[in-house]
Chains A and B, each alone.
Chain A
């Protein structure tokens, strides 16, 4: 398999046009060109770390503050889902648990695995790692659902003294966590997944790649 780098070219990942290696910007779409983004992994780890830091307060602080005539209580993400389950809305509780707990945690693990696998030259099939990357990239945005639910509920449930729902501090932390992990996934350069495979199969091509770099 001939890659653009092996052919002495640099590919634009935005518009798929190729240019002679050494060109810094794509003449067609104006994106910055980088045969392999050396700083990609540092950015992945940086965004991932910030995302993880935001995810902790997102689970500890209340997401919703519900005030009714007689009581006021705070509910966290997991607490809210458990409440729903007790109320019988098991499907919705599962949607919340999947979108706000399972997906974010799976995303942290997958991005970390991908970033490590690139550096360590893991032998897991690149096709499946590529698939994993695509899923992480696609599914990341769906975690925002919980933030939207908070926004909808707190604008809708404002019934004077009878009942009022207000957003809690966790909504900010959770939104930040989702955004930072999306940035982390976007910073990852999937071409790195395929480089090591080429190098493992054919030591000669690795030598050639080294001289070009």
Chain B
């Protein structure tokens, strides 16, 4: 097939290796993969839009909830302490380590929350067959750029490591927020595997709704 004869909007270039293809919508559940570098180019799923909206709502609730409940409790010889997410994030306060504090807040609370809200802002109109919001494209681009910086799941593993680290120093137990974070790990993974970026961009072009 002569690709250069096709209109530009029917073409897709692999973002990894620049190979050019004629974009054809695969059936739901199938994937279009770059023949040269094997990057996944298109992976639509049935009712993905609604699933992602539900997941984004769940992330919002879990992150906000996890802020207020303790995630670890410690007790030894009559003394006890429990720590919330905010305590952990603010533990560096005072001196130059404040920067670390701000980074921790951003990586485990602000970025996951911002991503969830941006995705809601982008997807809710197009899933319900409304025209996309005016700055939906910029919002979706930002959400994609933030993806590697959303580290809630790494924080959950960090909790488990800390648990073992102080196990001989004191008795330590998980609080409700820990389980919320564990849920967050699963939800973020589901959200990322259901999201087909190509389909979202296509919907934002106004050609068709996203389901």
Contacts and interface: CB of A to CB of B under 8 A. Distances in A.
Contacts of B24: none
B165 A14 contact: no
A74 interface: no
B37 A126 contact: yes
A62 interface: no
Contacts, number: 207
A132 interface: no
Interface string A11-32: 1111111111000000011110
A110 interface: no
Interface string A139-170: 01110110111011111111110110101010
Interface in B158-197: 158-159, 161-162, 164-170, 172, 197
Interface string B60-81: 0000000000001010110111
Given A7-B20, A127-B37, A15 B161 contact: no
A3 B165 contact: no
Contact of B166 (A140, A151, A157, A160): A157
A194 interface: yes
B103 interface: yes
Contact of B97 (A153, A160, A171): A171
Nearest to B108: A148
A87 B168 contact: yes
A167 B77 contact: no
A30 B137 contact: yes
A18 B14 CA distance: 10
B164 to A, nearest CB: 4
B169 A157 contact: yes
Given A92-B161, A148-B104, A155-B91, A127 B38 contact: yes
Contacts of B15: 11-14, 16
Interface in B118-173: 137-138, 140-141, 144, 148-149, 151, 154-155, 157-159, 161-162, 164-170, 172
Contact of A191 (B17, B83, B89): B17
A126 B36 CA distance: 9
Contacts of B92: 151, 154, 167, 171
A130 B17 contact: yes
Q: Which 4 A-B pairs have the closest CB atoms?
A: A11-B13, A148-B158, A155-B91, A155-B87
9 contacts: A16-B198, A29-B138, A84-B164, A147-B100, A148-B151, A151-B104, A155-B90, A162-B77, A171-B100
Interface of B: 3-4, 8-9, 11-20, 35-38, 41, 72, 74, 76-77, 79-83, 87-92, 96-97, 99-101, 103-104, 107-108, 137-138, 140-141, 144, 148-149, 151, 154-155, 157-159, 161-162, 164-170, 172, 197-198, 201, 204-205
Given A1-B35, A163-B169, 18 more contacts: A5-B18, A12-B15, A16-B197, A29-B137, A141-B149, A144-B151, A144-B154, A151-B88, A151-B92, A151-B100, A155-B87, A155-B90, A156-B81, A156-B162, A156-B172, A159-B81, A159-B170, A162-B76
